[in-house]
Amino acid sequence: MPPAIVDSHCHLDFPQLAEDLDAVIERAKAAGVTRMVTICTKLRNLPQVQSIAEAHDGIYFAAGTHPMSVADEPMVSVAELVALAAHPKMVGIGESGLDYHYTAESKIAQQESLRLHIEAARQTRLPLIIHARDADDDMARILTEEHRAGPYTCVMHCFSSGAGLAQAALDLGFYLSMSGIAAFPKSTELREIFRAAPLGRILLETDAPYLAPPPYRGKRNEPAYTVHTAEKGAELFDLDYADFAAATSANFDRLFWKAAA
C-alpha cells in the first residue's frame, strides 16, 4: 500500500463527484488517501454532506456558510454551529472567510459571518476552515483581532494568498493547506511561501472537484489526486514522499483532533 495521506478539504456532495462517488472513494483509498474531510458550504445542504460521512469509514465533514454564499443564505448563528458540532464526524467549522474577488458587495456581511464562525470554533475547539481571496488585509486583521479576544485554531484552506497573510496566519499558530495550485507551473511565488513555512504547519487538500494538479489540470479533480500535490510538497521540503506524507498526516491529526488516526 502507498503511504497514507489525508485530503483535508474536498466537496464530495458536489454533482461532479456525486455521480460516481463510490468509485471516487475507492480510487482515493487505492492511492493512499485514507481520510477525507468533505465540506458543507451551505447549511441547507448539510443532510447530504453528513450522510456521505456517515456512510464511509475515513470520511468526516465540516459545516459552515461559504463567504460567496453569505448574501443568499440565512446568517448562521453560533448556537447553530455549536449544536451541529456535537455530531461525532463533524470535525471543523466552515468553510468561512472573505472573498472580495467575486462578492465584494457583501463584504460587511461576510465579515459578520466570519466572526460568528470564529466564535463557534472557539467554543467547540474545532478548527476554523478559512477561504480567503483578494482580502488579505481584512483577513489578517480580523483573524488577529479575534485571536487576541480568545484563542482558536485554524487552517488557511487552499492557501494562495500573499506572503503577508501567510506570515500573519503562521504567527497565530495556524496552518497552511497546500492544494493543486502549488503544483501549477506558474505558482513559483506560492511554492516559495510554502517552502519558507514550518513543515509542522502544512496540510494537504484537493478542493475537489476544483483545482486539479498536473497532469490533470483543467479536468475534474478528485481526492486521489492529493498524491500529486504531496509529491510537489515533498520536493519543496526536500523529503522522501513517505516522510512528507507522515508529517502532513501528523499535522492533520493535531489540528483535526476528532478525526485523528
Rounded to whole angstroms, the Cα distance separating 33 from 26 reads 9
> What radius of gyration do the chain's Cα atoms show?
17
Q: What is the largest CA-CA distance in the chain?
A: 48
Neighbours of 214 (CB within 10 A): 14
pTM equals 0.97
Domain spanning 5-254, CATH class: alpha beta
Q: Where are the domains of the chain?
A: 5-254
Rounded to whole angstroms, the Cα distance separating 236 from 117 reads 33
pLDDT in tens, the chain (261 residues): 899 999 999 999 999 999 899 999 999 999 999 999 999 999 999 999 999 999 999 999 999 999 999 999 999 999 999 999 999 999 999 999 999 999 999 999 999 999 999 999 999 999 999 999 999 999 999 999 999 999 999 999 999 999 999 999 999 999 999 999 999 999 999 999 999 999 999 999 999 999 999 999 999 999 999 999 999 999 999 999 999 999 999 999 999 999 996
Contact 226, 5 (CB under 8 A): yes
Residue 72, φ and ψ in degrees, nearest 5: -105, -5
